[in-house]
Structure 1
Amino acid sequence: MRRRMFTVVDATNVTAAARKPLLAAAKRHDMLPIAVLLTTPGSICIERQGPRPANRTVPEEVVAQQHQDMFASRRTLRSEGFPETVYSDSLHRLLPYLERLRERRQADLGLDGSTGLGDLNLVSRVFGEEILPLWKWKPGSNVAGGDRVAEIRLGQQYLTPALRTDVDGEGDLGFDVMVPCPHDDARSGRAWVPAYSVTCLYRALDGGLDDDEDIVCTVHGPNTDEDQEDDPEGRADLEAQYADAVRE
């Protein structure tokens, strides 16, 4: 409160005497005091004490009296100095909860200007910690149109994932993994397909995603049943660009 930050006093404070020093502190720090009245029935308050250990259980008559005192306070809160009173069942709970999750995720990824938890944090969350020893970023690679590219290698087998920074047009993050182009009979071209989990990586390596409907080829475009427009010059140019990128 001294730093003028949003402050929650988590206590019963069911009497005017208990609330008086809190009001004084709010006034001293030029903060707006807001009283929150819980709408939970007294019987449920008593019932919820069941799982508590004996040394944390409040006698039922005390709970009942606190509940009664709280509702009796409704008539005096404004005169005490609370300009606003809200009831717990009217509070928007999901929105601030999601906001906290969003802020935490932004911080974890370093998107709030901080250092975050490192550039493997998102990799760990999507594919699991076990993949981290095999994951190597490839700085300078241009095979994904400027997005970050990595390699997952064990022995002679490897996969090439790419971190996409705008998968939905609204700045959300996600991964693609490189697979053979379904429009190229020789399977020499390269295409990308979304990878949502380590299962997707497995399917990409064993061929299970080779004909996935979400594949987008860097040369032929999306994986559709429509005939691909034959543009030899344009295709040759794209293939040359891809070859140059691979050599990098």
Structure 2
Amino acid sequence: MSKKNDTHARVIEVADQLLEEGIRPTQQNVRERLGSGSLTTINRALNDWWHTLAQRISRRNEHPELPEPVLTLANQAWDRALAYAEHQFAEQKQALEQRQQELLQSAQQKNSGGERALSDAHSQNARLLDRCEQLAQEKRELERRVFELEEQQLKLTVERDTAQREVRQLQHMGAENGGHAEAMVELRVRSRMQEEELQRLRQLGDRLSQENARLRNRLDE
């Protein structure tokens, strides 16, 4: 057997002895028991010893002769592993809970912003409806005024036509009888005034029609 393999076997043996004495095997105390040996070789041998120890612990029910110190040390190692795992789990759980809280707050903020936007949209829509109703009322009023003007225009047109017929009749009668000059002048004046009033009503009607058209366009926007 080579010197290296011999050292490896002796390290395993010394580690078992230390464990039986309730002492945790380390590079230093194993080397002190051996009296010599490379720390690298001792370290590799101890790693193998720990791996072998884990296998023996997993089969402790099949090997009741396993020393009590080995079981004690294994239990301690298992407890430390559990404590480490629980610590890692607690940290991960805390990180996940924090992330969940951040996502929840972000969702609440977005929802709050959406509710404000919806409320603003409702308010704006209500204002637009009020404005549309106001414009519609103005449009109805303009249409009423246009209708009244059209009636006035029709009435004045009839009166003007009647006055013009009377003027023509008086002219014809005056040509035959040589009279009615004063009545003819009065009819001409009245006809001219009616014509001027008709012209004024037409202009006013045109303006109202234009205003009505603008209101229709604003309602259609």
Same fold (TM > 0.5): no
Which structure has the higher relative contact order (CA within 8 Å, separation 6+)? 2
Larger helix fraction of residues? 2
**Where on the TM-score scale, by shorter chain, does this alignment land: which range?**
under 0.3
Q: TM-score, normalised by structure 1?
A: 0.20
Larger strand share, 1 or 2: 1
The structure that has the greater radius of gyration is 2
